[in-house]
Amino acid sequence: MSLEKEEIRDIEQVKELIKSYPDFPSEGVLFRDIFPIFQNPSALDCLLNNLVEQALEFAKKQGSIKIDAVVGLDARGFLFGPTLALKLQAKFVPVRKVGKLPGQTIKFTYVKEYGQDVMEIQADAILKDEKVLIVDDLLATGGTCSAAENLVSQLGATVVLNQFVIELSDLKGRDLLTAPIYSILSFGAWIHHLKKVTESLRFRIVRDDTESQTAISGLGRRVGQLDAGQTENAEYQGTKPDQSPHVRLAS
């Protein structure tokens, strides 16, 4: 019997369901597909229960017996956030890209590899002194989650834990985050794919496009630094370890 149809009760079995697709959706990209987990109800339930257990454990360590709000990051954080909030008997609050939320909002601008992005949260969604859990499918460069931490802080609340299904440890996204981090699965052996993309882009950029050339050169230096560094254990690292379950240059 395949794992897709098997009754799954162990988080290690859940990890086995995640599939990898080299060179998808384009050459040099290693796509981590989490959707097979959603095809097995017992696997999804096991994953969510694991996240709940870790959330309650971290909240207890910080002197709180309850998590008041679960913040899901646009967009795959919405796959886990509502159900996780239900299991924790907490409210669900979305953090979205600018222009997607009605009413009064709080905004935060952060820098990405190729420019800036803006995330926002509804101003009345989280109350002062509430305990908050942030969840997303992937921790890559950490920019989006760091923005969410800032938004929660602006509202006077406290992030007790950041949770992810997958962490790309080579990108060291956890270095940007201030709250403790829990990720179920860590991947680090993808640098060679990013190298291929960087080298390919160098030949595709028009020679007189100075801005693009500068960006690619900066990316190349960053890849070299990452390749020379050591990967970290994704689980139970405290302060400082896509948005999508895949490696993209724009993440």
**Displacement of CA 201 from its chain's centroid (Å):** 25
Catalytic residue among 7, 16, 113, 199, which? 113
Phi (first) and psi of residue 105, to 5 degrees = -130, 160
Q: How far apart are CA 112 and CA 141, in angstroms?
A: 9
CA–CA distances in Å: residue 175 to residues 106, 134, 143, 146 = 24, 16, 10, 10
The residues, ordered by sequence, that sit 6+ positions from 223 with a Cβ below 8 Å of its Cβ are: 191, 194, 195, 198
User: 161 near 180, Cβ under 8 Å?
Assistant: yes
* Best CA proximity match to 145, nearest among 170, 122, 114, 167: 167
Is 113 a known active-site residue? yes
Exposed/middle/buried for residue 26 (C-beta within 10 Å: 0-12, 13-18, 19+): exposed
| Amino acid occupying residue 112 | K
Q: How far apart are CA 238 and CA 162, in angstroms?
A: 10
Catalytic residue among 12, 57, 76, 149, which? 76
Q: Quick one: CA dihedral 111, 114, 116, 121, positive or negative? A: negative
Q: Which two tokens stand for residue 129?
A: 């002194």
Residues acting as catalytic residues: 76, 113
